[in-house]
Structure 1
Amino acid sequence: MGGVLVALELVQIASILVKAGMYISVLLAAGSVINIWLLTELDAAASRRLRRLAVWSALLGVVFSALTIPLRAAFFYGGIGGALDPMMLQIALSSPLGLSAATHILGLLAIATVAFNRSGARIFAMLGVALVAISFTLRGHATNDPRLALSTLFVIHILAASFWIGGFFPLYDMVGRGNAAAVRTVERFGQAALVMVGLLVGAGSVILVILAGNPIAVLTQPWGQFLALKLAVVALLLGLAGLNKLRLTPALAKTGEGAPLRTSIQWEAAAFILILLVTATFTSTVAPEHAG
């Protein structure tokens, strides 16, 4: 793993940063819409701020998704100059990445319609969420065999991850109020998280087995070492989620004091961003070799 990081070239570094930005903005946009639909206890101000976050995240996601094309062209070319080469750009647009990026952008533009705060716009935005999830199945490891199984697992994984990252802002926002609506919001999110986190971990585990075979043997590969780092941060994230549910949420309900829970949510968000950065790094630099 260390050798991979030391050998990073300019195009790879740029690809990692753009891909991480794409992951964060796209999942945040989709997750914000999911939580607008789920967290019915949000007051008008919190709902308005969450819609605004969904729109700005979607627009930022459009920019990052578009940037993946010239960066892939630069990769094909063997240098940053390829980002402006018409032939390399055409090849990148014609690749699975081009189709995935186009689907990303279409889904994100649909998500941005949530700004209108109408029932029809929310339905359209949820269709955008579905498109965003599907877009991740159009490239990379999701196109391997068995494709249908992997595509289904990736959709589940992306939706569950979107739900989680999209919940941080509205929870942080509502917890600051320390009222009954804040408690109900956190409790509703916690109930849904029991299912979503199970789907996230379960789908991710099956994807790992399909792609890499023996999980122990995978640790000898740089890909597996990056994955082990990611899983360590996921374990930390799960620990924080458990702390929130078992101790900090009951404390909020009892005393109305939300500062400890807000601090924990901040740490959760930081851990999630780190997970996405690690994911962007190993998906941009190394690929799994099937072990066993």
Structure 2
Amino acid sequence: MGGAIAALEPVQIASIFVKAGMYVTVLLAAGSVINLWLLAELDSVASGRLRRLAAWSAVAGVVFSALNIPLRAAFFFGSIVGAFDPIMLQVAVSSPLGVSTVVGSMGLAAIASIKLNRSWTRAVAFLGVVLVVISFALRGHATSDPRVAMSMLFVIHILAASFWVGGFFPLYDMVGRGGAGAVRTVEQFGQAALFMVGLLVGAGAAILVMLAGDPIAVLTQTWGQFLALKLIVVALLLGLAGLNKLRLTPMFAETGDGKPLRKSIRWEMAAFVLILLITATFTSIAAPEYAG
């Protein structure tokens, strides 16, 4: 794993950071819309802020998604010159990544409309979430055999991850202002999280087995070692989530002091960003070899 990092080329480094930025912004945009629908106790201030966050994240997501195209062209060409080569750009646009980027960008544009807060924008934004989630099933490992099963698992995995990422800001916002509505919001998120986290972990485990075959044997591969690092951070994230639900949320409800819970949410945010950065790294420099 260390050798793979040391051997990184400029195009790969750029790809990692662009891909990580895309993951963060796209999941945040989709997750913000999901949480606007699920968290009925959000007050008008939190709802307005979350709509703006969804819209600006969607705009940033379009930019990061588009940047993946010239970087893929540079990868095909073998140097950064390929990012400006019309033929290589056409190849990249015609690839599964290009199709996925178009579908995802359409979804993000629909999500951005939620900032207008009109009667029709929520329905349009929800359609955008569907397109964004589907876009992840049109590229990368999601196109592996068995195609239908892999696509469905990726849709579930991305949907659950979006919910979790999108919940950080409204929870942090509501807890910071306190009150009964904040307590109900945190409790409501916790109830939904039990189901969503189960989907996230279950789908992720199924994807791992289908891609790698033998989860133990895959640890001998660079891809598997990055994945193991990711799973360690995921375990820490799950521990923080458990702490929030079992200890910090009841403490907040009893005392009204939201500082410990907000601190834990900040650590959750940091852990999730790290997970997405690790994911961007190993999907950019290594691929699984079937080890079953």
**How many Å separate the matches in 1 of 2:118 and 2:202?**
35
The one-letter amino acid paired with 1:154 is F
Q: Is 2:48 aligned against 1:66?
A: no
Partner of 1:126: 126
**How many Å separate the matches in 2 of 1:251 and 1:130?**
36
Deviation at 1:138, TM superposition (A): 0.7
Deviation at 1:119, TM superposition (A): 3.3
The one-letter amino acid paired with 1:222 is T
Partner of 1:231: 231
Q: Equivalent residues in 2 for 1:1-292 (5 A)?
A: 1-292=1-292
SS at match of 1:257: coil
Percent identity for Structure 1 against Structure 2: 76
**How many Å separate the matches in 1 of 2:283 and 2:68?**
13
Q: Which runs of 4+ in 1 moved over 6 A?
A: none
**How many Å separate the matches in 2 of 1:116 and 1:86?**
37
**How many Å separate the matches in 1 of 2:141 and 2:178?**
44
The one-letter amino acid paired with 1:207 is I
SS at match of 1:114: helix
The one-letter amino acid paired with 2:70 is P
The one-letter amino acid paired with 1:86 is P
Deviation at 1:207, TM superposition (A): 0.3
The one-letter amino acid paired with 2:46 is A
Deviations 1:209-259 (A, max 9, x none): 000000000100000000000000000000000000011000000010000
The one-letter amino acid paired with 1:281 is T
**How many Å separate the matches in 2 of 1:66 and 1:281?**
18
Deviation at 1:177, TM superposition (A): 1.6
**How many Å separate the matches in 2 of 1:291 and 1:73?**
30
SS at match of 1:119: coil
The one-letter amino acid paired with 2:28 is L
**How many Å separate the matches in 2 of 1:215 and 1:201?**
15
SS at match of 1:202: helix
The one-letter amino acid paired with 1:75 is F
The one-letter amino acid paired with 1:116 is L
SS at match of 1:201: helix
Deviations 1:54-111 (A, max 9, x none): 0000000000000000000000111111111111101100111100110110000000
Structure 1, unpaired ranges of 5+:
none
The one-letter amino acid paired with 2:55 is V
Deviation at 1:191, TM superposition (A): 0.1
The one-letter amino acid paired with 2:102 is A
TM-score, length-normalised on structure 2?
0.99
Aligned residues: 292
The one-letter amino acid paired with 2:191 is Q
The one-letter amino acid paired with 1:252 is F
**How many Å separate the matches in 1 of 2:117 and 2:146?**
40
**How many Å separate the matches in 1 of 2:276 and 2:133?**
16
Deviations 1:136-181 (A, max 9, x none): 1111111111000000000000000000000000000000122100
Deviation at 1:282, TM superposition (A): 0.3
SS at match of 1:65: helix
TM-score, length-normalised on structure 1?
0.99
The one-letter amino acid paired with 1:121 is T
The one-letter amino acid paired with 2:65 is S
Q: What CA RMSD, in Å, does the superposition of the two structures yield over aligned residues? A: 0.5
Deviations 1:3-60 (A, max 9, x none): 1100000000000000000000000000000000111101101100000000000000
**How many Å separate the matches in 2 of 1:37 and 1:257?**
26
